Amino acid sequence: MSISDDKKHIVILGSGVIGLTIGHVITTKHADKYRVTIVARDMSEDMTSQGFSSPWAGANWSPFSDELDPATFRRESKTFNKFWEMESTGLTYNVPYRIFHPEANAEKLKNIWYKDMVRDFRVLEPEEIPQGFIGGVKFSTITVNPAKYLPWLKNELLDRGVVFVKRQIHTIGEAADIAGPDGIVFNATGLGARSLVGVEDKLVYPIRGQTILAEAPDVKECIALPIGSGQDPDGKVAYAIPRPSQGHVIIGGTYQKNNWDTSVDFDTAHSIWEKAVQFLPALKSEKSRIISHNVGLRPAREGGPRIELQRIKLPFVSDHMYGVKGSITEEKEFPVIHVYGFGGTGYQASWGSAEEAVDLLQNI
Protein backbone atom coordinates (compact mmCIF):
# COMPACT_ATOMS: atom_id res chain seq x y z
CA MET A 1 0.00 0.00 0.00
CA SER A 2 1.37 3.42 -0.95
CA ILE A 3 1.59 6.32 1.48
CA SER A 4 -1.11 8.17 -0.50
CA ASP A 5 -3.49 5.23 0.04
CA ASP A 6 -3.34 5.90 3.78
CA LYS A 7 -4.56 9.47 3.30
CA LYS A 8 -8.19 10.53 3.21
CA HIS A 9 -9.30 11.93 -0.12
CA ILE A 10 -10.51 15.54 -0.26
CA VAL A 11 -12.31 16.79 -3.35
CA ILE A 12 -12.56 20.57 -3.78
CA LEU A 13 -15.30 21.73 -6.15
CA GLY A 14 -14.23 25.00 -7.76
CA SER A 15 -10.90 26.34 -8.96
CA GLY A 16 -11.43 30.03 -8.28
CA VAL A 17 -9.44 31.92 -5.67
CA ILE A 18 -11.40 30.32 -2.80
CA GLY A 19 -11.01 26.73 -4.00
CA LEU A 20 -7.31 27.13 -4.80
CA THR A 21 -6.58 28.79 -1.46
CA ILE A 22 -8.37 25.99 0.39
CA GLY A 23 -6.11 23.55 -1.43
CA HIS A 24 -3.04 25.55 -0.41
CA VAL A 25 -4.05 25.61 3.26
CA ILE A 26 -4.81 21.87 3.34
CA THR A 27 -1.51 20.93 1.71
CA THR A 28 0.37 23.27 4.07
CA LYS A 29 -1.25 22.17 7.32
CA HIS A 30 -2.30 18.59 6.64
CA ALA A 31 -0.11 17.18 3.87
CA ASP A 32 0.37 14.01 5.92
CA LYS A 33 -3.37 13.38 6.33
CA TYR A 34 -5.09 14.20 3.05
CA ARG A 35 -4.64 13.89 -0.69
CA VAL A 36 -6.43 16.59 -2.68
CA THR A 37 -8.25 16.66 -6.01
CA ILE A 38 -9.68 19.89 -7.41
CA VAL A 39 -12.59 19.41 -9.81
CA ALA A 40 -13.91 22.36 -11.83
CA ARG A 41 -15.36 23.29 -15.19
CA ASP A 42 -13.18 26.43 -15.31
CA MET A 43 -9.50 26.45 -14.37
CA SER A 44 -6.94 29.20 -13.83
CA GLU A 45 -5.89 28.98 -17.48
CA ASP A 46 -9.45 29.86 -18.54
CA MET A 47 -8.92 33.56 -17.86
CA THR A 48 -11.44 34.69 -20.48
CA SER A 49 -14.25 32.47 -19.18
CA GLN A 50 -17.24 34.29 -17.73
CA GLY A 51 -18.28 31.03 -16.08
CA PHE A 52 -16.46 31.97 -12.90
CA SER A 53 -15.71 35.27 -11.26
CA SER A 54 -12.06 35.10 -10.15
CA PRO A 55 -10.47 36.25 -13.47
CA TRP A 56 -12.59 39.41 -13.51
CA ALA A 57 -12.08 40.62 -9.96
CA GLY A 58 -10.60 43.97 -9.05
CA ALA A 59 -8.69 41.91 -6.47
CA ASN A 60 -7.64 44.48 -3.91
CA TRP A 61 -8.54 44.99 -0.27
CA SER A 62 -11.39 47.47 -0.03
CA PRO A 63 -14.04 47.98 2.67
CA PHE A 64 -17.53 46.91 1.62
CA SER A 65 -19.18 48.36 4.72
CA ASP A 66 -18.55 51.12 7.23
CA GLU A 67 -19.86 48.88 10.03
CA LEU A 68 -17.81 46.25 11.85
CA ASP A 69 -18.69 42.60 11.31
CA PRO A 70 -16.50 40.36 13.52
CA ALA A 71 -16.42 37.45 11.04
CA THR A 72 -15.46 39.77 8.18
CA PHE A 73 -12.73 41.38 10.27
CA ARG A 74 -11.31 37.99 11.28
CA ARG A 75 -11.18 36.64 7.72
CA GLU A 76 -10.00 39.81 6.02
CA SER A 77 -7.35 40.79 8.55
CA LYS A 78 -5.67 37.39 8.12
CA THR A 79 -5.82 37.77 4.36
CA PHE A 80 -4.58 41.36 4.39
CA ASN A 81 -1.53 40.41 6.46
CA LYS A 82 -0.81 37.42 4.20
CA PHE A 83 -0.96 39.53 1.04
CA TRP A 84 1.10 42.30 2.63
CA GLU A 85 3.88 39.82 3.40
CA MET A 86 3.80 38.53 -0.20
CA GLU A 87 4.78 41.81 -1.87
CA SER A 88 8.41 40.73 -2.26
CA THR A 89 7.21 37.90 -4.54
CA GLY A 90 5.72 40.38 -7.02
CA LEU A 91 2.29 38.75 -6.70
CA THR A 92 0.87 41.59 -4.62
CA TYR A 93 1.32 45.35 -4.70
CA ASN A 94 1.11 47.75 -1.77
CA VAL A 95 -0.39 51.08 -2.87
CA PRO A 96 -1.96 54.22 -1.38
CA TYR A 97 -5.76 54.23 -1.33
CA ARG A 98 -8.14 57.18 -1.03
CA ILE A 99 -11.86 56.70 -0.34
CA PHE A 100 -14.25 59.65 -0.48
CA HIS A 101 -17.48 59.59 1.55
CA PRO A 102 -20.54 61.69 0.67
CA GLU A 103 -22.09 61.11 4.10
CA ALA A 104 -19.50 60.09 6.73
CA ASN A 105 -17.61 62.98 8.34
CA ALA A 106 -14.16 63.06 9.92
CA GLU A 107 -15.46 62.33 13.42
CA LYS A 108 -17.06 59.08 12.28
CA LEU A 109 -14.21 58.07 10.00
CA LYS A 110 -11.42 58.41 12.56
CA ASN A 111 -12.68 55.31 14.38
CA ILE A 112 -13.79 53.26 11.38
CA TRP A 113 -13.45 49.50 11.97
CA TYR A 114 -10.56 48.79 9.61
CA LYS A 115 -8.26 51.63 10.70
CA ASP A 116 -5.93 49.31 12.64
CA MET A 117 -6.02 46.53 10.03
CA VAL A 118 -4.69 48.52 7.07
CA ARG A 119 -1.42 50.44 7.08
CA ASP A 120 -0.73 54.20 7.32
CA PHE A 121 -4.37 55.09 8.04
CA ARG A 122 -5.38 58.74 8.33
CA VAL A 123 -8.48 60.88 7.85
CA LEU A 124 -8.24 63.31 4.94
CA GLU A 125 -8.08 67.02 5.64
CA PRO A 126 -10.96 69.19 4.33
CA GLU A 127 -8.79 70.63 1.55
CA GLU A 128 -8.08 67.09 0.28
CA ILE A 129 -11.75 66.23 -0.24
CA PRO A 130 -13.38 66.87 -3.65
CA GLN A 131 -16.59 68.83 -4.01
CA GLY A 132 -19.65 66.72 -3.30
CA PHE A 133 -18.09 64.77 -0.42
CA ILE A 134 -17.87 65.56 3.28
CA GLY A 135 -15.17 63.12 4.39
CA GLY A 136 -12.49 60.74 3.28
CA VAL A 137 -9.68 58.47 4.38
CA LYS A 138 -6.30 57.45 3.05
CA PHE A 139 -4.31 54.31 3.83
CA SER A 140 -2.04 51.73 2.23
CA THR A 141 -3.75 48.66 0.79
CA ILE A 142 -2.85 45.62 -1.31
CA THR A 143 -3.78 44.66 -4.86
CA VAL A 144 -3.44 41.36 -6.72
CA ASN A 145 -3.28 40.53 -10.44
CA PRO A 146 -5.57 37.51 -11.00
CA ALA A 147 -3.85 36.65 -14.31
CA LYS A 148 -0.62 35.98 -12.40
CA TYR A 149 -1.92 35.00 -8.97
CA LEU A 150 -4.33 32.20 -9.97
CA PRO A 151 -1.74 30.35 -12.11
CA TRP A 152 0.77 30.74 -9.27
CA LEU A 153 -1.65 29.12 -6.82
CA LYS A 154 -2.33 26.27 -9.24
CA ASN A 155 1.37 25.65 -9.87
CA GLU A 156 2.01 25.62 -6.12
CA LEU A 157 -0.64 22.93 -5.75
CA LEU A 158 0.65 20.89 -8.69
CA ASP A 159 4.09 20.89 -7.07
CA ARG A 160 2.46 19.50 -3.92
CA GLY A 161 0.81 16.64 -5.77
CA VAL A 162 -2.71 18.06 -6.04
CA VAL A 163 -4.65 16.54 -8.94
CA PHE A 164 -6.77 18.79 -11.18
CA VAL A 165 -9.78 17.39 -13.05
CA LYS A 166 -11.51 19.61 -15.62
CA ARG A 167 -15.13 18.50 -15.39
CA GLN A 168 -18.53 20.00 -14.70
CA ILE A 169 -20.23 18.53 -11.64
CA HIS A 170 -24.03 18.56 -11.61
CA THR A 171 -24.79 17.02 -8.20
CA ILE A 172 -23.14 16.89 -4.80
CA GLY A 173 -23.49 13.13 -5.10
CA GLU A 174 -21.11 13.12 -8.09
CA ALA A 175 -18.50 14.87 -5.97
CA ALA A 176 -18.97 12.38 -3.15
CA ASP A 177 -18.54 9.57 -5.66
CA ILE A 178 -15.18 11.01 -6.79
CA ALA A 179 -14.04 11.44 -3.18
CA GLY A 180 -14.91 7.86 -2.28
CA PRO A 181 -16.64 6.33 0.77
CA ASP A 182 -14.27 7.89 3.33
CA GLY A 183 -13.72 11.14 1.46
CA ILE A 184 -14.62 14.76 2.13
CA VAL A 185 -15.94 17.45 -0.25
CA PHE A 186 -15.31 21.20 -0.08
CA ASN A 187 -17.96 23.08 -2.03
CA ALA A 188 -16.36 26.28 -3.37
CA THR A 189 -18.60 26.60 -6.43
CA GLY A 190 -19.58 30.27 -6.04
CA LEU A 191 -22.68 30.98 -8.12
CA GLY A 192 -22.74 27.27 -8.94
CA ALA A 193 -24.04 26.57 -5.44
CA ARG A 194 -27.40 27.87 -6.63
CA SER A 195 -27.79 25.11 -9.22
CA LEU A 196 -25.65 22.29 -7.79
CA VAL A 197 -28.20 19.54 -7.15
CA GLY A 198 -28.18 18.61 -3.50
CA VAL A 199 -27.18 22.14 -2.46
CA GLU A 200 -29.52 24.38 -4.51
CA ASP A 201 -28.94 27.44 -2.34
CA LYS A 202 -31.47 30.03 -3.53
CA LEU A 203 -29.85 32.66 -1.31
CA VAL A 204 -27.03 32.83 -3.87
CA TYR A 205 -27.29 35.62 -6.44
CA PRO A 206 -25.02 37.50 -8.89
CA ILE A 207 -23.76 41.06 -8.63
CA ARG A 208 -22.82 42.22 -12.11
CA GLY A 209 -19.54 44.05 -12.37
CA GLN A 210 -18.48 45.88 -15.54
CA THR A 211 -14.94 47.24 -15.65
CA ILE A 212 -12.25 48.58 -17.95
CA LEU A 213 -8.71 47.23 -18.01
CA ALA A 214 -6.36 50.04 -18.99
CA GLU A 215 -2.66 50.56 -19.37
CA ALA A 216 -2.09 53.64 -17.24
CA PRO A 217 1.42 53.61 -15.75
CA ASP A 218 0.99 57.07 -14.22
CA VAL A 219 -1.78 55.82 -11.90
CA LYS A 220 -0.03 54.91 -8.65
CA GLU A 221 -2.93 54.77 -6.20
CA CYS A 222 -6.33 53.19 -5.63
CA ILE A 223 -9.32 55.47 -5.42
CA ALA A 224 -12.98 54.72 -4.67
CA LEU A 225 -16.39 55.76 -3.54
CA PRO A 226 -17.71 53.28 -0.95
CA ILE A 227 -20.14 50.57 -2.05
CA GLY A 228 -23.70 51.48 -1.15
CA SER A 229 -22.91 55.16 -0.69
CA GLY A 230 -22.83 57.83 -3.34
CA GLN A 231 -23.50 55.41 -6.17
CA ASP A 232 -25.87 55.99 -9.06
CA PRO A 233 -29.35 54.41 -8.91
CA ASP A 234 -28.41 52.01 -11.72
CA GLY A 235 -25.57 50.51 -9.70
CA LYS A 236 -22.57 52.46 -10.98
CA VAL A 237 -19.68 53.11 -8.62
CA ALA A 238 -16.27 54.67 -9.18
CA TYR A 239 -12.95 53.03 -8.43
CA ALA A 240 -9.49 52.47 -9.89
CA ILE A 241 -7.11 49.69 -8.85
CA PRO A 242 -3.48 49.57 -10.07
CA ARG A 243 -2.23 46.00 -10.49
CA PRO A 244 1.22 44.59 -9.71
CA SER A 245 3.69 45.20 -12.61
CA GLN A 246 2.87 46.10 -16.23
CA GLY A 247 1.26 49.45 -15.34
CA HIS A 248 -2.24 48.02 -15.69
CA VAL A 249 -5.26 49.48 -13.87
CA ILE A 250 -8.77 48.12 -13.35
CA ILE A 251 -11.35 50.91 -13.59
CA GLY A 252 -14.91 50.40 -12.45
CA GLY A 253 -17.55 49.94 -12.43
CA THR A 254 -20.98 48.57 -11.69
CA TYR A 255 -22.50 46.80 -8.69
CA GLN A 256 -25.80 45.49 -10.04
CA LYS A 257 -27.53 42.89 -7.91
CA ASN A 258 -29.42 40.00 -9.55
CA ASN A 259 -28.20 41.00 -13.00
CA TRP A 260 -27.01 37.95 -14.98
CA ASP A 261 -26.08 39.88 -18.16
CA THR A 262 -22.45 39.18 -19.13
CA SER A 263 -22.41 41.40 -22.23
CA VAL A 264 -20.60 44.74 -22.30
CA ASP A 265 -22.75 47.88 -22.20
CA PHE A 266 -20.70 50.54 -23.98
CA ASP A 267 -22.78 53.43 -22.65
CA THR A 268 -21.87 52.18 -19.19
CA ALA A 269 -18.24 51.85 -20.26
CA HIS A 270 -18.19 55.50 -21.35
CA SER A 271 -19.64 56.71 -18.05
CA ILE A 272 -17.19 54.53 -16.07
CA TRP A 273 -14.25 56.15 -17.83
CA GLU A 274 -15.59 59.70 -17.57
CA LYS A 275 -16.27 59.37 -13.85
CA ALA A 276 -12.85 57.85 -13.15
CA VAL A 277 -11.07 60.65 -14.99
CA GLN A 278 -12.72 63.19 -12.66
CA PHE A 279 -10.91 61.69 -9.66
CA LEU A 280 -7.74 60.46 -11.39
CA PRO A 281 -6.45 63.05 -13.89
CA ALA A 282 -3.46 60.73 -14.48
CA LEU A 283 -5.77 58.69 -16.71
CA LYS A 284 -5.63 61.55 -19.22
CA SER A 285 -1.93 60.87 -19.82
CA GLU A 286 -0.81 60.10 -23.38
CA LYS A 287 0.57 56.85 -21.96
CA SER A 288 -2.93 55.64 -21.07
CA ARG A 289 -4.88 53.30 -23.33
CA ILE A 290 -7.85 50.96 -22.91
CA ILE A 291 -6.93 47.28 -23.20
CA SER A 292 -10.32 45.61 -22.71
CA HIS A 293 -13.89 45.96 -21.48
CA ASN A 294 -14.90 43.28 -19.00
CA VAL A 295 -17.98 41.87 -17.29
CA GLY A 296 -17.96 39.43 -14.38
CA LEU A 297 -20.60 38.16 -11.98
CA ARG A 298 -19.72 38.39 -8.30
CA PRO A 299 -21.04 35.30 -6.44
CA ALA A 300 -22.96 36.84 -3.54
CA ARG A 301 -25.30 35.34 -0.96
CA GLU A 302 -28.07 36.85 1.13
CA GLY A 303 -26.97 36.80 4.74
CA GLY A 304 -23.30 36.66 3.79
CA PRO A 305 -20.81 33.88 3.00
CA ARG A 306 -21.52 30.29 3.96
CA ILE A 307 -18.68 28.47 5.74
CA GLU A 308 -20.32 25.42 7.21
CA LEU A 309 -20.00 21.65 7.63
CA GLN A 310 -23.01 19.69 6.39
CA ARG A 311 -23.53 15.94 6.38
CA ILE A 312 -25.48 14.71 3.36
CA LYS A 313 -27.14 11.32 3.18
CA LEU A 314 -25.78 8.72 0.78
CA PRO A 315 -26.68 7.07 -1.50
CA PHE A 316 -27.54 10.46 -3.00
CA VAL A 317 -31.14 10.70 -4.22
CA SER A 318 -32.71 13.76 -5.85
CA ASP A 319 -36.06 14.44 -7.46
CA HIS A 320 -34.13 16.45 -10.08
CA MET A 321 -31.87 13.62 -11.29
CA TYR A 322 -33.39 10.34 -12.49
CA GLY A 323 -31.48 7.12 -13.07
CA VAL A 324 -28.24 8.52 -11.61
CA LYS A 325 -26.49 6.03 -9.35
CA GLY A 326 -23.12 6.47 -7.74
CA SER A 327 -20.69 3.82 -6.57
CA ILE A 328 -21.42 4.54 -2.90
CA THR A 329 -24.38 2.28 -2.11
CA GLU A 330 -23.98 1.95 1.65
CA GLU A 331 -26.25 4.27 3.65
CA LYS A 332 -24.14 6.83 5.45
CA GLU A 333 -23.66 10.53 6.12
CA PHE A 334 -21.07 12.19 3.92
CA PRO A 335 -19.24 15.39 5.03
CA VAL A 336 -19.44 18.47 2.81
CA ILE A 337 -17.81 21.75 3.84
CA HIS A 338 -19.44 24.72 2.09
CA VAL A 339 -17.29 27.78 1.35
CA TYR A 340 -19.06 30.21 -0.99
CA GLY A 341 -21.07 33.42 -1.23
CA PHE A 342 -18.33 36.05 -0.90
CA GLY A 343 -19.63 38.49 -3.50
CA GLY A 344 -16.89 40.97 -4.33
CA THR A 345 -14.71 39.99 -1.35
CA GLY A 346 -13.35 36.64 -2.57
CA TYR A 347 -9.71 37.69 -2.81
CA GLN A 348 -9.66 39.87 0.28
CA ALA A 349 -11.28 37.14 2.41
CA SER A 350 -9.57 34.17 0.76
CA TRP A 351 -6.85 33.17 3.21
CA GLY A 352 -8.87 33.78 6.37
CA SER A 353 -11.90 31.99 4.94
CA ALA A 354 -9.85 29.03 3.72
CA GLU A 355 -8.27 28.60 7.14
CA GLU A 356 -11.68 28.79 8.81
CA ALA A 357 -13.09 26.18 6.43
CA VAL A 358 -10.12 23.84 6.79
CA ASP A 359 -10.39 24.05 10.58
CA LEU A 360 -13.80 22.39 10.23
CA LEU A 361 -11.98 19.17 9.31
CA GLN A 362 -11.41 18.61 13.02
CA ASN A 363 -15.19 18.18 13.43
CA ILE A 364 -15.31 15.23 11.04
Beta strands in the chain (DSSP E): 8-13, 34-40, 92-101, 119-123, 135-144, 163-166, 184-187, 204-215, 222-224, 236-242, 248-254, 256-257, 289-301, 306-314, 332-340
Cα(306)–Cα(312) distance, rounded to whole angstroms?
Answer: 16
Helix axes 350-359, 70-85, angle to 10 degrees: 110
Whether residue 298 is annotated as binding a ligand: the answer is yes
Whether residue 189 is annotated as binding a ligand: the answer is yes
Backbone phi, then psi, for 355, in 5-degree steps?
-65, -40
- Residue 337: HSE in the Cβ half-sphere, 13 Å Cα cutoff: 24
**What's the distance, CA 124 to chain centroid?**
29
> How wide is the angle at C-alpha 149 spanned by C-alphas 147 and 152, nearest 5°?
110
| Helices within the chain (DSSP H only) | 17-29, 70-85, 106-109, 146-159, 172-179, 266-279, 350-359
- Report the phi/psi class of residue 190: left, alpha or beta, with left for phi > 0 and alpha for psi in -120 to 50: left
Secondary structure (3-state) at 190: helix
Inter-residue contact 96 to 115 (CB < 8 Å): no
Inter-residue contact 241 to 143 (CB < 8 Å): yes
Residue 101: beta bridge partners?
Answer: 135
Whether residue 344 is annotated as binding a ligand: the answer is yes
What secondary structure letter does DSSP report for 103? S
Among 55, 90, 95, which Cα is nearest to 280's?
95
Q: Would you say how long the chain is, in residues?
A: 364
Which residues are known binding-site members? Answer: 189, 239, 298, 344
Which residues are known binding-site members for D-dopa? Answer: 239, 298, 344
Which residues are known binding-site members for FAD? Answer: 189
